[in-house]
Amino acid sequence: MEVREFARFPFVRGASEFVRRSKVELDDLLGHTAFSQARMRGKKRVLDAIEKASVDDNSMATEEDRLQEILSYPMARILVSCVGDGFLIRRYALAEAKTAYDRMQTERVETLMEIAAELGVEATLVDDLPSMHFTDFLRFTSGLRSKEWKLVNTEVKKGKVALPKVKFARVLEQALHDKLEDELPLPVTRSMLEALRPDISELKMLAEQMKDRYQTEGFGEVDVESFPPCMKRLVAMAQAGENISHPGRFALTSFLFNIGLSREEIMKIFAGSPDFDEAKTRYQIDHITGEISGTTYTPPECSTMRTNAVCFNADDLCRLDWVKHPLIYYRAKLRRKRRSAPAPQAAKEGSAAEPVGRPESR
């Protein structure tokens, strides 16, 4: 790869070697005026990730532009690590991976093969088509929902799956996404935190705002705070645009419908997904909520959720013997919350005030 490709795919090893050869020191990147553009572009990468889950293209016309663009990538990773927020890390990983996917569309297949090697995706070119072992194919595509990604719909020859360039790029997108989520946050130093303090505060605030918006938007009267950890995680994934497995979508849709969300409100929660398909999502929601099938499904029990790998971050309440179902968790948490809420002030004797509240029915 050449410098132009390093600027377009700054996660490859060649890009960091190029930075090393350019003799740019970390302290210079963090504070020297010569690298203010790299710092600005690095911050912009993170802002783009928060706002639109992708990273804008910048001018790469000159050698200097390309160097600044390459440097903006480690800068963005440092900023995300300094903020240290799980939501931001997921959102940033998604944005970088989506952007790499878009850029790969216009690259030669040989470049994609180089990127694959960088990302640890073993593949060879067979008749000009990238070909990979079916186990690797499954590893990177298990979260992709459309039928075209099912192994039964894919030709497997001698254990290998051959993919057209666009589909191979989608596999690489997933591999990059997983790699970034695994790598971040990086260890950060006091000097990083001090040098970048204003930017860190701003990004932290924006990430918080976005999370708050997601948490409150579209949930109406429902108490999101009382959601079981599995559902909180699934909602966060849907809203951050991450892929959710089929069992995860089923569990989340049936849970939300059973606690009172309308079909339209559930649609809105899935609308943030990168591969959101309105017609397909509507069909799935209508099916699970009984509009088509006549059966209104409930989420699976916790034991099945565990088997389906969609039981996330189980907490102390989950560990109680009788909490065997996400809906039981939700109702139990609501009851606990109501009990611990300050008691309404008793109406003064002789007052004409209406009684406030009523004993909770179980």
- Binding part of the chain for ligand SF4, among 3-11, 143-151, 225-233, 275-283 by CB under 6 A, reads 225-233
CA neighbor of 57 nearest in space, from 4, 111, 1: 4
Return the ∠ at Cα 110 (arms to 104 and 116), rounded to 5°. 65
Closest distance of CB 353 from ligand SF4, Å: 40
Q: How many CB atoms lie within 10 A of CB 264?
A: 10
Among 50, 60, 144, 314, binds ligand SF4 (CB under 6 A): 314
Which residues lie across from 156 on neighbouring strands?
161
Q: From residue 270, how far is each of 107, 169, 222 by CA, in Å? A: 31, 24, 17
- Binding part of the chain for ligand SF4, among 140-148, 197-205, 275-283, 306-314 by CB under 6 A, reads 306-314
Q: From residue 355, how far is each of 315, 318, 334, 341 by CA, in Å? A: 37, 35, 22, 17
Among 74, 228, 241, 248, binds ligand SF4 (CB under 6 A): 228
Task: Quote the CA–CA distance of 229 and 226 in Å, as a whole number.
Answer: 9
The torsion region of residue 130 among left (phi > 0), alpha (psi -120 to 50) and beta comes to: beta
The residues in 285-304 that bind ligand SF4, with binding defined as CB under 6 A, are 302
Indicate whether 311 belongs to the interface with ligand SF4 (CB under 6 A). Answer: yes
> Are 210 and 204 within 8 A, CB to CB?
no
Closer to ligand SF4 at the Cβ: 168 or 330?
330
Which residues lie across from 162 on neighbouring strands?
131
The torsion region of residue 260 among left (phi > 0), alpha (psi -120 to 50) and beta comes to: left
Among 70, 161, 235, 305, binds ligand SF4 (CB under 6 A): 305
Indicate whether 10 belongs to the interface with ligand SF4 (CB under 6 A). Answer: no
Structure tokens at 231: 């559902």
Closest distance of CB 268 from ligand SF4, Å: 22
Closer to ligand SF4 at the Cβ: 42 or 326?
326
Among 144, 210, 222, 318, binds ligand SF4 (CB under 6 A): 318
Among 192, 196, 230, 238, binds ligand SF4 (CB under 6 A): 230
Closer to ligand SF4 at the Cβ: 196 or 305?
305
Tell me the number of residues near ligand SF4 by CB under 6 A: 11
| Binding site residues, ligand SF4, CB under 6 A | 228-230, 302, 305, 311-312, 314, 318, 326, 329
